[in-house]
Structure 1
Amino acid sequence: MRCLRFLLIFVLLIASACPLLAQRTFTNPIKPSGPDPWVLQQGEWYYYTNTTGANVTLWRTRNMADLATAERKTIFVPSTGQPFSRDLWAPEIHYFDNKWYVYVSADSLNNLSHRVWVLENTSPDPMQGEWVMKGKIGDKGDHWAIDMSVMEYKGQLYAAWSGWEGPTNGRQDIFIAKLKNPWTLDGDRVKLSQPDQPWEQHGDVPQEWQRNGEIPKIYVNEGPEFLQHDDKLFIVYSANACWLDYCLGLLTYTGQGDLTDPRSWIKSKNPVFVQAPENGVWAPGHGGFFKSADGKQDWMIYHANPSATDGCGNKRAPHIQPFTWNADGTPNFGKPAPKTPMPIPSEK
C-alpha cells in the first residue's frame, strides 16, 4: 500500500510538471530577414507579409513564433514596364467586406515615383484565387506616398501613410484620409504629424548621398499603424531613419472630433520604443500588433538590425514580443527583448 501511495504521488508530481515541460519557446528574430513586417489575424490564421522588393509574398501560420517554417506563397509579381514594377515596399494585407486587399508601395524608375497600389482577391482563402490590381490609391495632388495602412473605425474606413508635402522635399510626414471604398480616398489628405521633435530629427545621411557638395538632412515620420484598445485609438509610427537610431513614436486620438482633424490627435513628447544595444537590437521600427490565439496577450512585431551599422537592407529581421498597457490606457512597449528563448504567444 505504501508503494502504491508513493507511486501515486510521483505520478501527480509528473503530471503537474508537464505543462511547464511542454511549454514551447522561441528566440528573436523569428526569421532571418523581413523588413517592414505586417501581421493580420483572421480566424485561426495569422497572415504575414514583409518587403521583398520584387514581389508580394504571403506567409500563413497558426502561431507567429513558427513563422520561419510557415506556409508561403508569392501572390503578386509585377510585369516590367508597369508604374508599380520596382521597389515594392511595406505590403499589408487587410480584409474588408469579405474580400482581401493588399496595399503596397511601388515605383517605376526610382524612389521619386513611389506611390501606393491596391490589390484585391475575392477568394475566401488569400493563398488561393486571383489577385487583381485595382490601381493607385492617392491624394488629389498625386504626392509621393509609402507605407499605407487601413482601418475601419465606427463604420468608416481610414487610411494613414507617409508622404511628402511637396514633390521632392524629402521630409516624410504622416497623413490621414477617409476612404470611399478600400481602393479610393474620400476627400484630400490631412497631415497629422511631421518630424518636429528633437528625437525625430537625427537625419544625417550617408556621405554618398551628398548633393552639390552638401550632405542634406532627411527627417522621417513613416510606417504609421493603427492600434485600438478598449475605447482608445492610437497611431504608432517610425521616426528618425532606418539607417540611424530608428524608433517608434505615438499619436493618441483625444476621443473628440473627426479623425481627420489634426486637433483630434496628441503626439507623445518622447519616443515609446527605442533601440537596446545591450540586447543586440538596433534601429527597431515599422511596428505592428496582434493578439495571441487565445485572445489574452497583446503582442507587437517590428523589424530591427543586429548591429548599429546595418542600415536599411535585408539584415532587418522581424522580432515579436508581448506588451502591456499603462494606467492611462496608453501602450507600454518596454524595450526590445534580448535574443534569448521566451514563451511563444499563448494558444487556445
Structure 2
Amino acid sequence: MAHSRRTNLPPLPSMNLPVKLPVKRCTLLSSTALAAALLCSCAAFAQAGFDNPLVRQRADPHASLHADGYYYFTATVPEYDRIELRRARSLDGIGKGESRVVWRKHAAGPMSFHIWAPELHHIDGRWYLYFTAGRADAPLDIRLYVLENAAANPLEGQWIERGQLRTGWESFSLDATTFALDGQRYLLWTQRPPTADKHLTAVYIAKMDTPLSIAGPATLLTQPQYPWEKVKFDVNEAPAVLVKNGRVFMTYSASATDASYALGMLTARADANLLDARSWTKSPEPVFASSRRTGQFGPGHNSFTTSPDGRTDILVYHARDVEQVPGDSLQDPNRHTRAQAIGWKADGTPDFGEPVADRPAAR
C-alpha cells in the first residue's frame, strides 16, 4: 500500500518499466479435457469484458463473491479517513452499487490516520474487516487492526472494534489478508523485519487460532531481492492468495506506488508446509506490470475473485492511466480499481498477461 518517505534521497535511477509482455495465443494443445479447459480459459482471458475502471479513485481493492450472490467490495479511499463497503450483483455494478461508510478514523491516538487497505472476510458466520491505520501524531507508525460484525449483510449491523492484530513484534506493518486451506486458517501480511533497514518491507505468514490472532511464530516468505522490487523503495507488500491446480499462488506488490509498481508471485504445493519458506518458489520476473501499449501504469495490490458461476478466475487490482505522477505518488488519488479474467498456462500456473485497456461503460 505505502511506505515511509526517505529524506536526502540520491538521484533516482532511470526507470525501465518491466513491460516484457507475453503474447496470448489460443493454440489447440490436444484433445484432452485439460486442453479444452485451457482453451476456454484463454478465450475468457482475451474477452475480459469488464467496464474498467470499475471504481475510480479506489486503491488496494478487495472484492469477493459471497454465498448470497453479491460481490462485496472495499478499498482505500483517497482521503485515507474511513472504510466504505459496497455490494452489487456484478463486478461491473460495484461502482454504482449499494454503498455505506461503516467506520471512520479516530480523532486522535491509534487508528487516527492513514486508514489503508481494508479487506472484508466472512469467517465462521461473522464478517471481519482487516485494515491498516496510523496515528495522527505519528502517521507512519502503522499497525494492523480488526473490526467484527455479526449481521448477515455487512453493510448493516454494528461494526465492533477488536483492536490491534498482534504479529509478535512491533514495527511498520500493513496489508493483512487471510485464507483457509485444509481446515487451517492463515494470516499473510506486510511488516518491517525486526533488524531490517527502515525502508524495507517483507511479507510474512502465520497460522491463525482465531480470526483476531495468530498462533506461533511468523515465517518470512519474501523480501526485495531483484532490481524491479527496489525501484525508489525496497518493498514487498500486499499479499493475495489463489489456490488452484494443487498449488497456492501468492501475489505481492513491489517497488514504489508509481508506474514502477508491479506484481510478483510465490508458488507452493497445496500439500506443502506453508510455514516453511523452502516450500515456496519465487518468480524472478514480475508477473503483471505497467503497459504503455494499453495505457495502464503501476498495476498492483490485487485481490482474487471468480465469475458468478465460479468458472472464471478474476484479478481485481488498481492502476493509473497516466505514467508520470507529479510529487509524491502516494498522495495522488488516481489509482482506479480494475478487473480482468485470468488465463492459465499448460503447466497449471496463472497467466496474468498485461493490464487491459480501459473500456468504460457506454453512457
Are positions 1:97 and 2:104 aligned together?
no
Whole-angstrom CA distance in 2 between matches of 1:26 and 1:94: 24
- Are the aligned partners of 2:113 and 2:139 in contact in 1 as well (CA < 8 Å)? no
- Corresponding residue to 2:284 among 258, 261, 269: 269
Residue 16 of structure 2 corresponds to none
Deviation sequence 1:243-299 (CA, Å, 0-9, x none): 241110000013454211111111011110011112111110111111111222111
Residue 76 of structure 1 corresponds to 103
- Corresponding residue to 1:300 among 315, 322, 341: 315
Residue 314 of structure 1 corresponds to 333
Residue type at the aligned position of 2:147? L
- Give TM-score, length-normalised by structure 1: 0.84
Give the aligned CA root-mean-square deviation in angstroms.
Answer: 2.0
Structure number with greater CO (CA < 8 Å, separation at least 6) is 2
| Higher mean C-alpha displacement, 25-34 vs 98-107 | 25-34
- Corresponding residue to 2:305 among 282, 287, 290: 290
- Are the aligned partners of 1:138 and 1:145 in contact in 2 as well (CA < 8 Å)? no
Change over 3 Å in CA distance of 1:83–1:294 after alignment to 2:
same
Are positions 1:122 and 2:141 aligned together?
no
Residue type at the aligned position of 1:191? L
Deviation sequence 1:13-68 (CA, Å, 0-9, x none): xxxxxxxxxx9965311122101110121020111001121111000011001122
Residue 36 of structure 1 corresponds to 60
Whole-angstrom CA distance in 1 between matches of 2:361 and 2:215: 44
Runs of 4+ with deviation above 6 angstroms: none
Are positions 1:113 and 2:141 aligned together?
yes
Whole-angstrom CA distance in 2 between matches of 1:341 and 1:79: 36
Secondary structure of residue in 1 paired with 2:92: helix
Whole-angstrom CA distance in 1 between matches of 2:343 and 2:49: 20
Structure 2, unmatched stretches of 5+, are 1-46
Residue 174 of structure 1 corresponds to 203
Whole-angstrom CA distance in 2 between matches of 1:24 and 1:254: 28
Residue 5 of structure 2 corresponds to none
- Give TM-score, length-normalised by structure 2: 0.81
Structure 1, unmatched stretches of 5+, are 1-22, 204-217, 344-348
Residue 359 of structure 2 corresponds to 340
Aligned residues: 307
Are positions 1:60 and 2:79 aligned together?
no
Deviation sequence 1:148-186 (CA, Å, 0-9, x none): 101111111101111101376120111111111001111
Residue type at the aligned position of 1:260? L
The alignment-based identity, stated in percent, is 33
- Are the aligned partners of 2:48 and 2:341 in contact in 1 as well (CA < 8 Å)? no
Secondary structure of residue in 2 paired with 1:220: strand
- Are the aligned partners of 2:268 and 2:281 in contact in 1 as well (CA < 8 Å)? yes
Deviation at residue 341 of structure 1 after TM alignment: 6.0
Secondary structure of residue in 2 paired with 1:28: coil
Structure with higher helix content:
1
Residue type at the aligned position of 1:45? Y
Deviation sequence 1:219-239 (CA, Å, 0-9, x none): 110110011113211111001
Higher-Rg member (1/2) = 1
Whole-angstrom CA distance in 2 between matches of 1:278 and 1:237: 23
Secondary structure of residue in 1 paired with 2:95: helix
